Amino acid sequence: MGVKVISERIRSVGIWVGLPIEVWIVAEPDGVTLVDTGLSMMAGAILQEIDRMNAGPLKRIVLTHGHADHVGGLKRILAQRPVPVYMHEREIPYAEGDLAYPGKSQARAHVEKGILQPLPAAPKHGPARIGELDVYFTPGHSPGHVVYGHGADKVLLAGDLFNAKRGRLIPPRFTPDPELALQSAGVLRDFDPERMQVCHGGTVYRPAGQLDDLEREAEASKRAQARLQEMRDKRNSKKSRR
């Protein structure tokens, strides 16, 4: 388990299990906010780091989405620190197993019922807030995915909005609606973080600068696919005429 200092008020706790997984601890004026909970086996290290940070008690847990690798530590953390847990209201029925995640044939409960509360709704202008974090709705990887921006530290805690490798953005794996996910990534231009952390792949500095390239790549691959489909359709219609 590795701990990293992300910014003045934020640290990460990470693990490598064939892929990297990290969660974030944010020092707030009233205590600590934990963003995502990783795997069950990370719970002890997360709590230890919260204590070591000496920024007051754990006040709340906020989740980017309900996939198992983001909510796995919840149960063991809550057993020791019963605090409120927030998730976007659109995501809750999927995380609680009432709906199957898009692309999955079966609904599966990743979180017991009665634990998750909806995040505060966004005001008419600007993002919702919880603690010192701005909440941005970023669907695509999952129906109610959100990311959290820390304005003072200029850090975006981005869950699975992207994956990353050696500081480069990668479209997120296991994403049923990549087009919508890329649209949601427009948040990088609005918030323009100096540093973004993704759950799988660590740090990307100034991520907004990489967005143009990704959009161009996605556009090119869309055109290539459409061309391929056109050729297939032509071939099929020739066959059926014969």
Cβ proximity to Zn ion, 60 vs 67, nearer residue = 67
Q: Any idea how long the chain is?
A: 242
Minimum distance from CB of 68 to Zn ion (Å)? 8
Minimum distance from CB of 70 to Zn ion (Å)? 6
Whether the Cβ atoms of residue 182 and residue 218 lie closer than 8 Å to each other: yes
Beta strand pairing call for 10-16 and 2-5: antiparallel
Cβ proximity to Zn ion, 22 vs 134, nearer residue = 22
**Chain centroid offset of residue 54 CA:** 26
Whether the Cβ atoms of residue 169 and residue 131 lie closer than 8 Å to each other: no
Cβ proximity to Zn ion, 43 vs 199, nearer residue = 199
Question: Applying CB under 5 A, which residues contact Zn ion?
Answer: 67, 69, 160, 199
Minimum distance from CB of 185 to Zn ion (Å)? 15
- The C-alpha atoms of residue 140 and residue 146 are separated, in whole angstroms, by 10
Cβ proximity to Zn ion, 129 vs 168, nearer residue = 168
- The C-alpha atoms of residue 21 and residue 12 are separated, in whole angstroms, by 10
Cβ proximity to Zn ion, 64 vs 210, nearer residue = 64
Determine which helix (DSSP H) or strand (DSSP E) holds 227, and give its type and residue range.
Answer: helix 208-241
Minimum distance from CB of 11 to Zn ion (Å)? 19
Minimum distance from CB of 159 to Zn ion (Å)? 7
Select the residue whose beta carbon is closest to Zn ion and give its number.
Answer: 67
- The C-alpha atoms of residue 205 and residue 198 are separated, in whole angstroms, by 11
Minimum distance from CB of 48 to Zn ion (Å)? 22
The DSSP call for residue 20 is E
For the chain, the straight-line distance linking the first and the last C-alpha, in angstroms and rounded, comes to 64
- The C-alpha atoms of residue 44 and residue 139 are separated, in whole angstroms, by 30
Judged by phi (left if over 0) then psi (alpha if -120 to 50, else beta), residue 36 lies in: left
Cβ proximity to Zn ion, 14 vs 132, nearer residue = 14
